[in-house]
Amino acid sequence: MTPGARLRARIDSGPILVVPGAYDALFASLVQRAGFEAVYLTGSGVSYSTLAAPDIGLVTADTMAAKVRELSGVVDVPIIADGDTGYGDEANIARTVREYERGGAAAIQIEDQLSPKRCGHYAGKQVVEVEEMVARLHAALGARRDPGFMVIARTDAASVIGFDAALERARAYADAGADMIFVEAPASREELAAVPGAVGVPVMANIVEGGRTPIVPAAELERMGYRLVIYPNAITRTVARAAMELLATLRRDGSTLEHLNRMLTFAELTELVGGQGWISDLAAPGIPGSEGEMEVE
């Protein structure tokens, strides 16, 4: 089965699909290793990690397509890839879809914001007319080579022109052929619960800790009718805090000893990235005083 067909089958047949976000290959591999059945390539996470910049439309299509290839080289689970507004006009949207699909993605998410977009939980967003977004979707749907490749339509209208308008757009995007609908930033449990029954295709939820949408457990979202929920930057935010704490300690003490029990050992990190499968002599004698560690030159 193609990645898209596998993702569709899982969404159609199983319980709600819980999907953490990752911005690079290492963290995508951790998502898979933890037992999750898909990974979300987060555009905001790529912006944070590669540019140290907010999610305001600075990441390019080529950067994201390269990230798709990076992730697909290390994970077997389906990759759901953020496609922002499609990165240009209809021809550019078609190119983006083909690059993502060729790179190994199972799905692309395209939104109805005016370009340059910004995080759905920032203020000051604007949305295009419904007709323009429908044209984006037609370009994306027409460009895919594999009919299993999923096109997810996201609307940011709820926080711009109102929740009722967002539901109207969701229905229009479903009618245009979108495989899944993503209504961004419902502001309450009541709004979250209203989405699944409003459209005739599967719907997904987005949990942004501290954002506009309340943090609702996946089981409750499933009871509402959601088929998929993403956690785009839970890893990003956790890793950034851990790094800040480590650096503060190193700056203060001139040593990382206090953090050793919060780090992977050298051997664990090497095993995590499959080091012994790349170079046969990586299994060197242990570092004195660190059982199971590998020798570092």
| Least confidently predicted of 80-89, 120-129, 201-210 | 120-129
For residue 293, what pLDDT band results from cuts at 50, 70 and 90? very low
Spatial separation of the C-alpha atoms in residues 138 and 129, rounded to whole Å: 15
Q: From 222, 79, 206, select the one nearest 155 (Cα to Cα).
A: 206
pLDDT(207) > 80: yes
Tokens representing residue 118 in the block: 């910004």
Mean pLDDT of 92-103: 98
pLDDT at position 221 is 98
**What is the average pLDDT across 266-288?**
70
Q: What is the per-residue pLDDT for 124?
A: 79
Q: What is the pLDDT of residue 46?
A: 97
Minimal CA–CA distance to 228: which of 27, 38, 32?
38
Residue 174 or 281, more confident: 174
| Mean pLDDT of all residues in 196-205 | 95
Q: What CATH architecture is 3-232?
A: Alpha-Beta Barrel (3.20)
Report field, pTM of the whole predicted structure over 0.75: yes
Predicted pLDDT at 297: 39
Give residue-wise pLDDT tens across range 108-132.
999 999 988 888 787 778 999 999 9
Q: Enter the tokens of residue 27.
A: 């963290």
* pLDDT surpasses 50 at 17: yes
Instruction: Compute the distance between CA of residue 262 and CA of residue 177 in angstroms, rounded to an integer.
Output: 47
Residue 287 confidence (pLDDT): 45
Q: Which residue has the higher pLDDT, 176 or 267?
A: 176
3-state class percentages of the chain: helix first, strand second, coil last, to nearest 5: 45, 15, 40
Mean pLDDT of 149-161: 96
CA distances from 150 to 80, 166, 175, 202 (A): 9, 21, 15, 11
Among 46-60, 105-119, 132-146, 269-283, name the one with the lowest average pLDDT: 269-283
- The rounded distance, in Å, linking the Cα atoms of 215 and 213 is 6
CA-to-CA dists, residue 65 to 71, 79, 101, angstroms: 10, 12, 9
Give the tens place of pLDDT for each residue, 156-193.
Answer: 999 999 999 999 999 999 999 999 999 999 999 999 99
Residues of each domain in the chain carrying CATH 3.20.20.60: 3-232
Angle between helices 90-103 and 130-143 (to 10 degrees): 40
Please give the mean pLDDT across all residues of the chain. 92
